[in-house]
Structure 1
Amino acid sequence: MSVKPEHYDVIVKPIITEKATLVSDANAYVFEVAKDSSKPAIKQAVEALFNVKVKAVNTTITKGKTKRFRGRPGVRSDVKKAYVTLEAGNSIDVSTGL
């Protein structure tokens, strides 16, 4: 599958946290994705950008928290995450970038 410019719009960045490291043992990787992206679009983007076969895509939307900034209340943006599970034998090195 060839890489298209739209694929770079779907995946914003990889998420590297303690939980994301734990799920990587199960051959799953976590990415922040665009809020309007669908599961098939995420699957196509990951397969094209990283040359791997995707087994499943699970998504979650984390609502932004209300925080105070310089004494005034503000709201952080909502974030959509994609948990991408790969087929056996495939792996992604998220530290190298695209």
Structure 2
Amino acid sequence: MADIKYYDVILRPVITEKSMNMMSDKKYTFYVHPEATKIQVKEAVEKMFNGTKVSSVNTMNIDGKKRRRGMTVGRTAKSKKAIVQLTADSADIEIFEGL
């Protein structure tokens, strides 16, 4: 396992209709480093966003999709997604406020 720093764990937020609806329950979705663990994701969210307290983290591995270009067959890159549940007394994450 690679030595991953907390600022390398979270790659970008997931902005979909489903993830926006989950924000009302204080659940936020991020694409994370493929080798990151749940503990590393929890520490990264608490360090990067001030005032947040994480109660649980759910992760899922997403396989790459098959793509064709003529006779050539390949796959897109695989990724990892994390859904972070914040506690009730936690502050909201500011990057999602304007969406």
Query: What TM-score results when the alignment is normalised by the length of structure 2?
Result: 0.84
Give the count of matched residue pairs.
Answer: 91
Q: Residue type of the partner of 2:54? A: V
C-alpha distance in 2, partners of 1:17/1:73?
28
Report the CA distance between 1:93 and its aligned residue: 2.1
Please list every run of 5 or more consecutive structure 2 residues that lacks an aligned counterpart in the other structure.
none
TM-score by length of structure 1 reads 0.85
Residue 49 (structure 2) pairs with residue 50 (structure 1): yes
Alignment partners' CA distance in 2, 1:62 and 1:25: 25
Is residue 92 of structure 1 aligned with residue 74 of structure 2? Answer: no
- After TM superposition, the structure 1 = structure 2 runs for residues 1-98 of structure 1, keeping only pairs within 5 Å, are 6-51=5-50, 52-69=52-69, 71=70, 72-89=72-89, 90-95=91-96
Offset at 1:31? 0.4
Q: CA deviation at 1:95?
A: 4.5
Shift of 1:18: 1.1
- Supply the distance in 2 between the matched residues of 1:48 and 1:64 (Cα, whole angstroms): 30
The secondary structure found in structure 2 opposite 1:12 is strand
Counterpart of 1:77, as a letter, is: A
Runs of 4+ in structure 1 deviating by more than 6 angstroms, as ranges, are none
Q: % of aligned pairs identical?
A: 40
Unaligned 5+ segments in structure 1 are none
What is the deviation of 1:22? Answer: 1.4
